Amino acid sequence: MLGILYKACILVLVIVLGYILKSVGLFSKDRDFVTISNIVLYITLPAALINNLNGLRFPYYLLILSVFGFLCNWMYIFLAKKFGKDKEGKSFMMLNINGYNIGNFSLPFISFFLEGIPILAISLFDAGSSIMVLGGNYAMAEGTKNGDTKFNVRDLFKKIMESPPIIVYVIMVVLSMASVNLPTAIMDLAGIVGGANTFLSMFMIGIALELNFGRENVAKLIKFSALRYLPASALGVIISFLPGIPVAIKYALTLVLFAPVSGSATIFTERIDNDVELSAQFNSLSIILSVIIMSSYLIYLGL
């Protein structure tokens, strides 16, 4: 338990560091947030994905986990459409109660306790989820905010393929299925660049964070938390009773369902000119809630 809390506290401290340095004037939300978010989205996150997926081998039938990760995002899009009050609220929720922070948070967190098949399951889930997290959810949110109620597959595909992390995911999965590893020189470079990803992602949230919780924001945060974690709990219960699935994969999928919301949600919230401060607040809150829930589940499993 202490090991879990220690790792979680390190991530929270990076967020706090970003907030403190912004508060004393060394960084500016208006100026530096966009710069750091672009570095994450276009440079460090793709490098981190290369590190995670190079050399990954799996039987083809496990690709169904990628489909599951993809569909989980659509569940939250449906909830956003149903419970959002207006176009602004719906588009905000499509990004901010949605998605899974796996590469920067959940994968290192879970790999501290599990290895082998569970980590493979999480990576494949992430491959499908990332299609929405790194482009699809943004396309849906942007269309909703602009009043476009029609689902345009062409526009969605175009938006997805504009995302460098998605392109990296596709390439790496194809290489893995073909049993091809990248050259050592590329992996050495990806290791250096990708190593900065977790820090920059958490630091970026700290820069965007404003700790001015008014009554209205508190009510919204409670609503977002309920819409985020109650469906995850229901899915976790369903998975636990499904026959024919290895227990290790059930554990991994249940854990990843309680992952924090995606770190890229705050980036895309800024791009559709929505409430970045509220996004950063819920992103930080989701990290705290996810640590508590995931830790409790691991303790329950005796891991």
Distance CA 91, CA 154 (A): 19
Query: Using one digit for the tens of pLDDT, what is the confidence trace for 89-124?
Result: 899 999 999 999 887 677 777 776 777 778 788 888
Residues 6+ apart with CB under 8 A from 51: 187, 190, 191, 194
Domain boundaries, the chain: 2-301
Tell whether the model's pLDDT for residue 1 goes beyond 80: no
List b or e across 211-235, with b for residues whose CB sees 16 or more CB atoms inside 10 angstroms.
Answer: eeeeeebeebbeebeebbbebbeeb
Tell whether the model's pLDDT for residue 151 goes beyond 60: no
pLDDT at 193: 94
Distance CA 166, CA 172 (A): 10
Residues 6+ apart with CB under 8 A from 66: 124, 125, 127, 128
21-35, 53-67, 151-165, 217-231: least confidently modelled range: 151-165
pLDDT at 170: 81
Distance CA 43, CA 255 (A): 28
pLDDT at 228: 96
pLDDT at 267: 83
Angle at 276 between CA 274 and CA 277, to 5 degrees: 130
Between 231 and 271, residue with greater pLDDT: 231
Sign of CA dihedral 264, 267, 271, 275: positive
In the chain, what percentage of residues exceed pLDDT 70?
A: 92
pLDDT at 4: 64
Band of pLDDT at residue 261, cut at 50, 70 and 90: very high
Tell whether the model's pLDDT for residue 217 goes beyond 60: yes
pLDDT at 204: 84
Query: Using one digit for the tens of pLDDT, what is the confidence trace for 177-196?
Result: 888 999 999 999 999 998 88
At the topology level, CATH places domain 2-301 in Na+/H+ antiporter like fold (1.20.1530)
Q: What is the CA radius of gyration of the chain?
A: 18
pLDDT at 189: 95
pLDDT at 290: 86
Between 73 and 3, residue with greater pLDDT: 73
| Residue pair 159/135 in contact by the 8 Å Cβ criterion | yes
User: What is the DSSP secondary structure assignment for residue 112, as one 8-state letter?
Assistant: T
In the chain the first and final C-alpha atoms are separated, in Å, by 9
For range 20-48, the mean pLDDT: 86
Residue type, 9: C
Q: CA nearest 196: which of 208, 204, 207?
A: 204
Tokens 């985020």 belong to 228
User: What is the DSSP secondary structure assignment for residue 272, as one 8-state letter?
Assistant: T
pLDDT at 213: 63
| Residue pair 159/138 in contact by the 8 Å Cβ criterion | yes
For helices 64-83 and 215-241, angle between their N-to-C axes, nearest 10 degrees: 140
Tell whether the model's pLDDT for residue 281 goes beyond 90: no
Between 66 and 8, residue with greater pLDDT: 66
